[in-house]
Chains A and B, each alone.
Chain A
């Protein structure tokens, strides 16, 4: 990781485990000796709203909890339209994106008030706003493993596997024990591993 601060955004919809994902990454980075700041929105966001976690990772300083506009280096998106939203505000031509392709429809789309963008066009827009992007069907894989909530760990694995985060299975294990519980370790390690494999299988786009 050469850039300092390294700015990562983990984004998704309330309830997808976005906050936990950023906590896990953050605690691994602190163990590695970095100064990490994570900024989030809670509370009402849980009820179907967009959730963003901003991670500032630096060897030198404690940075503010929000990334300035156009300054994201890595975007990990648990939902594709959230990827577009985040890249629209915080992306720049060097940003790399790791994106879960399964849409979560906002209630306004479900109720027929607004359309959800066509997925192929959405993916193209995401491509156009990033230097490289990795699209994964993480939710489907997570459900195969037993629960959609594992999507976030799969994506962390993918980011790690693509060399975008210095997180390893071993370091993640410790973080899982600290922030979740020992019983959750095995299934989360499995999910992480799956993510690293999935990204290697992908032709980079």
Chain B
């Protein structure tokens, strides 16, 4: 039983921002939802998938975000309400289609939720996706809290149907992954039957017709947003400082003003309909203050758009000092935090921040410097990627030609860190590892002597590796693609992918087998278990000596997936009499270099030990111990 499908209008529950969005879509009567997993957006379609069968809706984990948007669009042009969700990078992947769909419009309702990751906590980049709304001439709303997240989705579907175009919602980690109170609304009683009207064509051509049309639709949205309760003001009539904020910034700003006791001096204008902007309410408040501070996540989007309005009306308005990212008042990168917002407002208003006394602060600094060792990211105990990268590392050293490993996105992206022995030398976007490898693999014609390897995961393979693989084959590029197949989209929460035999609805699906696809393309494809270290290293070495595009699939189950189903593979223990630890001949190979969290170093005894609570029993450490001090027994 899931809270988001509960038929209990008026009930107050605790929902994650993403769940609130999902619930809003359900209340708005969606029929179809599609996505590719990506933090911080995955739970939107994830929670819809759990209740899909119960509610009679279709939910899909698509192969990538472009296809997900196309799937949702198919529903939306057939009269249905459809939802698509993605992280910032996903929007980049879907953007070509989006920038055509906006011109054709739709015949039902389509809401595109993009979840940005300020500071790139779970991403390779930091990006502000709101500019896509301006680029595509589509309306955009930003929820500032959880009830609003649900309400905005319902309003978005309403708006989308009215203007026959996509409506965007932008969330951030601090809303998507946070939880808060939400009051459930009523569930829809009926659902439309899909039908595509073939008497008319949907095409973005010619631009002379569709481009002005999308502007007209945006105008309709602007009118719709007039008087929206998603835009609101709290504070004095003529504040000495006006904060203009949106999204997560509102709650931070409210609390800062409260802590600093500035309710009589500082006003907060919160904008929920970020594009097109509600000019009237903005102009009204710009006219009543000498100083404006913009608080928003990532780029000065709201800041620049408000300044545009100010420029258009500058003759009617008094002089204003604008403060934000452009002025350097807020940093132009990184996420917002309460501490940052409090500090900035306190500096601007000359108000002191309440603090404990210096002696406490000194102890706090001591705690941070000396009592909280950093926790760098690491592969889980028993992760097959650790074994794979160990074999790759050794094979590259034996090969001796300074081979280049092009990395890709997934848990295995951690190969840029010591946990993956820093084997990956590049890390960009989905599928770019193999893209760059097939590019490097033709440079031998220009004198390059280094072999090229690309790694990609199973989910990434389906997402975007195939075109580059075809390119590499066709161009006779020399590279080795190593597919790290742990049969999971692990980093984002184990969603099914085209290699799985079940789909988002838990029904049987048709698995697309990676080696069959590769062999159908005519590529030499070898399959190997990475836990068989020697054989894997030997295979990688041999394949490095070959020419042309070739594929090695290192197939072994994800440790977390296995851990849920079965008991430990082996019982692993260390014989302390044999362990030589820091001495010459070992130098702590297992804990210092291999770095599995299932191992721990006993400083008092100068010996390695197994941490029973963490070890999963894969036994790879037993295979690498130079003195055979670690042994594994099958239970």
Contact = CB atoms under 8 A, between A and B. Distances in A.
Contact of A70 (B178, B355, B588, B595): B355
B372 A82 contact: yes
Given A43-B39, A47-B378, A48-B377, A66 B337 contact: yes
A140 B583 CA distance: 33
A38 B180 contact: yes
B356 A26 contact: no
Contacts of A89: 364, 368
A36 B371 contact: no
- Chain B: interface secondary structure? mixed
Contacts of A15: 380
Nearest to B343: A69
Contact of A64 (B14, B173, B338): B338
A183 to B, nearest CB: 14
Interface string B155-199: 000000000000000000111011111000000000000000000
A163 interface: no
Contacts of A114: 373-374
Contacts of A27: 13-14
B507 interface: no
A36 B375 contact: no
A166 interface: no
A93 B347 CA distance: 25
Contacts of B599: 110
B501 interface: no
B179 A23 contact: yes
B181 A36 contact: yes
A104 B597 CA distance: 9
B373 A108 contact: yes
A18 interface: no
A91 B364 contact: yes
Interface in B427-465: none
Given A37-B178, A47-B377, A143 B613 contact: yes
A198 interface: no
A127 to B, nearest CB: 10
A107 interface: yes
B375 A37 contact: no
Given A49-B377, A87-B364, A107-B378, A65 B178 contact: yes
Interface in A38-62: 38-45, 47-50, 61-62
Contacts of B570: none
Nearest to A14: B375
Contact of B122 (A39, A44, A109): A44
A173 to B, nearest CB: 15
A118 B256 CA distance: 37
Interface in A53-95: 61-71, 81-82, 84-85, 87-89, 91-93
A172 to B, nearest CB: 14
21 contacts: A27-B13, A30-B14, A36-B179, A38-B179, A43-B40, A43-B122, A44-B377, A48-B377, A48-B380, A62-B147, A65-B174, A69-B339, A84-B368, A93-B360, A106-B376, A107-B418, A107-B595, A108-B375, A111-B418, A111-B593, A128-B363
